[in-house]
A and B are shown apart, each in its own frame.
Chain A
Amino acid sequence: RKEVEQDPGPFNVPEGATVAFNCTYSNSASQSFFWYRQDCRKEPKLLMSVYSSGNEDGRFTAQLNRASQYISLLIRDSKLSDSATYLCVVRPVGSSASKIIFGSGTRLSIRP
Chain B
Amino acid sequence: SQTIHQWPATLVQPVGSPLSLECTVEGTSNPNLYWYRQAAGRGLQLLFYSVGIGQISSEVPQNLSASRPQDRQFILSSKKLLLSDSGFYLCAWSVRGVEKLFFGSGTQLSVL
Least CB distance from B53 to A in Å reads 14
Q: Which of A63-71, A73-81, A94-102 sits within the interface? A: A94-102
Q: Are A43 and B103 in touch, CB under 8 angstroms? A: yes
What residues of A have a CB within 8 angstroms of the CB of B36 in the complex?
102
Place the interface of chain B in its size category. 20 to 34
In whole angstroms, what is the CA distance A49 to B100 when docked? 8
Checking A41, A43, A99, A102 against B43 with a beta-carbon cut-off of 8 angstroms, the contacting residue is: A102
Interface size of A by Cβ–Cβ distance < 8 Å? 22
Q: Are A100 and B99 in touch, CB under 8 angstroms? A: yes
| A1-14 vs B, Cβ < 8 Å mask (1 yes, 0 no) | 00000100000000
Checking B49, B51, B59, B104 against A43 with a beta-carbon cut-off of 8 angstroms, the contacting residue is: B104
With A43-B106, A100-B94, A100-B99 known as contacts, the answer to whether A87 contacts B51 (CB < 8 A) is no
| Interfacial residues, chain B to chain A (CB-CB below 8 A) | 32, 34, 36, 42-46, 49, 51, 57, 59, 88, 90, 94, 96, 99-101, 103-106, 108
